[in-house]
Amino acid sequence: MLCYPFLAGAGVAQYSRGAGLVAGYLLLAGIAACYLAVVVASMRSAWQAYWGLLAVMTALAVPVALLARETALILLAVIVPAAAVRAGRRTGPALVVLGATACVVVPMLVPGWDTGPGWYHAVAVVFTALLVHAFSGTATANRQLREARAEVARLASEAERNRIARDLHDLLGHSLTAITVKSGLARRLAAGAPAAALAEIESVERLSRQTLADVRAAVSGYREVTLAGELARGRELLRAAGVAADLPTASDGVPPERQELFGWIVREGVTNVVRHARAGRCTVELTVSSVEIRDDGAGGPAGTGSGLDGLRTRVAAAGGVLTAGPVPPRGWSLRVEFPA
C-alpha cells in the first residue's frame, strides 16, 4: 500500500512546481510514515493511536489534493481500507462504497480536474479494501490460534498439577495410614510376640518402598492401580487395624475399562474407614457397573475433602455418579455407579 503515495507523487510532479512540489513530497512522506505507524498500532492493538493516525493521514491528504488534483484520490486506497477494516461489519462496507463513489464522482465535479470518472482509483479502493480485509481475517485467526494454544497449554499444565495432587493424596493417604496402623500394631506386639512384631516391621518397610515407587510413578504419570491389588491391600490394612473385612476375592466381573477407577475408589474408601470410621466391619461390594464401600462405624454428615473431591473428579470424567454419606442405623457408605 506504500506504492499509492508514490503514485500520488506523480500527480504532484505533474501539477506542481517549486515550493508546491517540495511541500507535496513532504506531505506524501508524512502520509507514508503515518501508515507505517498505523500498522504498528494495529499489531499492538493500540486502537486510540490507530484512529488518531488515520485522522492525521486524512488531514495530510487534503492539501495533497490541491497539489496533485485527481491523482490524489489514489490516497483513498490507503485511508479507506484502513478505516473500513476496523469500523465494523456495517460501517466498513459503507466506507468502501463511499470512497469508491468519491473516486468516480469528484473528478467530474471539481473544476480543473480531469472530467472523466476515476474508475481506476475506485477499483484500487475496492481491491485494496478486500485485500486488507482478507489479511486482517488471517491475522485475527492466527492470533486466536496462538491464544487457543496458550490456553490449551495452560489447561494441560493445570490438569497435570491437579492429577499429581490427586494421585499423591490417594497414594499417600492410603500408604501412610497403613504404615501408621502397622507401626502401632508392631509396637503392641513387640513385648509378647516379637516374631509377629518383626513381620509387621518388615511389612512397613515393604510398604514404604512401594509408596516411594508409587510417588515416583505418580509424578511421572506412569502409576498403575489395579482393583485386585487394592482389594488385597485393603484386606491387609483392615486386618492390621482390627477391622473385620468382607471384601470380594475376585474382580473378574468388573469391565477392564473400570478396573483402575474402581481400584482408586476401594483405596480411598478403605483408607477412610481405617482413619475416620472407628468401625468393626467393612464391606466392599462389586458389580459390573458399581462399587460400594460400607462400614458400621460412627458415620457422620457427608462432607468434602481432597480425597472425595478427587474421586468425584475421576468418576465424573468417566461418566459415573458418586454418592457418599451416613447410612442407617449407623455407618457410612461410599458408592459409585455407572449407567447400565
User: Could you please report the per-residue DSSP string of 251-290?
Assistant: -TTS-HHHHHHHHHHHHHHHHHIIIII--SEEEEEE-SSE
Q: What is the mean pLDDT of residues 20-30?
A: 93
- Name the β-bridge partners of 130: none
> For residue 334, what are the CA distances in angstroms to 139, 235, 259?
52, 17, 17
Predicted local distance difference test score (pLDDT) of residue 98: 93
- Name the β-bridge partners of 337: 290, 321
Which residues lie below 8 Å from residue 323, measured CB to CB, with a gap of 6+? 333, 334, 335, 336, 337
Of 59 and 6, the structure prediction assigns the larger pLDDT to 59
Predicted local distance difference test score (pLDDT) of residue 197: 78
What is the per-residue pLDDT across 206-262, written as a single tens digit (0 to 9) for each?
777 777 666 666 655 555 678 888 888 888 888 888 889 999 888 888 888 898 899
- Domain positions in the chain: 3-148, 225-340
Predicted local distance difference test score (pLDDT) of residue 340: 72
- Check: CB of residue 268 under 8 Å from CB of residue 334: yes
Which of 76-80, 104-108, 221-225 has the lowest average pLDDT? 221-225
State yes or no: pLDDT of 303 exceeds 90: no
What is the per-residue pLDDT across 328-338, written as a single tens digit (0 to 9) for each?
888 999 999 99
For the chain, give the mean pLDDT.
Answer: 84
Output the pTM of the full model: 0.49
Predicted local distance difference test score (pLDDT) of residue 60: 93
Angle at 40 between CA 39 and CA 42, to 5 degrees: 65
Strand, coil or helix: 90: coil
Of 237 and 205, the structure prediction assigns the larger pLDDT to 237
State yes or no: pLDDT of 311 exceeds 90: no
Predicted local distance difference test score (pLDDT) of residue 213: 65
Of 29 and 209, the structure prediction assigns the larger pLDDT to 29
Predicted local distance difference test score (pLDDT) of residue 145: 76
In single-letter form, the type of residue at position 122 comes to: A
pLDDT bracket for residue 301 (50, 70, 90): low
- Check: CB of residue 327 under 8 Å from CB of residue 299: yes
Predicted local distance difference test score (pLDDT) of residue 185: 77
Which of 95-104, 152-161, 321-330 has the lowest average pLDDT? 152-161
Strand, coil or helix: 333: strand
Predicted local distance difference test score (pLDDT) of residue 143: 81
Q: What is the mean pLDDT of residues 91-110?
A: 90
> For residue 80, what are the CA distances in angstroms to 66, 125, 135, 294?
19, 7, 15, 74
Q: What is the mean pLDDT of residues 117-140?
A: 88
pLDDT bracket for residue 178 (50, 70, 90): confident
Predicted local distance difference test score (pLDDT) of residue 115: 62
pLDDT bracket for residue 36 (50, 70, 90): very high
Crossing angle for the helix pair 256-272 and 119-190, to the nearest 10 degrees: 50
In single-letter form, the type of residue at position 243 comes to: V
What is the per-residue pLDDT across 131-167, written as a single tens digit (0 to 9) for each?
988 888 888 888 887 887 777 767 766 776 776 676 6
Angle at 27 between CA 21 and CA 28, to 5 degrees: 90
State yes or no: pLDDT of 264 exceeds 90: no
Predicted local distance difference test score (pLDDT) of residue 43: 85
Domain 225-340 CATH (choose: 3.40.220.10, 3.60.21.10, 3.30.110.60, 3.30.565.10): 3.30.565.10
Hey, how many other C-beta atoms are within 10 angstroms of the C-beta on 53?
22
Q: What is the mean pLDDT of residues 321-332?
A: 90
In single-letter form, the type of residue at position 269 comes to: G
Predicted local distance difference test score (pLDDT) of residue 218: 60
The three grid cell numbers given for residue 146, joined into one nine-digit string: 496462538
Q: Pinpoint the alpha helices (H) of 16-118.
A: 19-43, 47-68, 76-84, 91-109
Hey, how many other C-beta atoms are within 10 angstroms of the C-beta on 298?
13
d(CA 79, CA 35): 8
Q: What is the mean pLDDT of residues 90-119?
A: 86
d(CA 213, CA 202): 17
Predicted local distance difference test score (pLDDT) of residue 224: 66
**In the chain, pLDDT over 70 holds for what percent of residues?**
88
Predicted local distance difference test score (pLDDT) of residue 81: 92
Sign (positive or negative) of CA dihedral 84, 88, 93, 95: negative
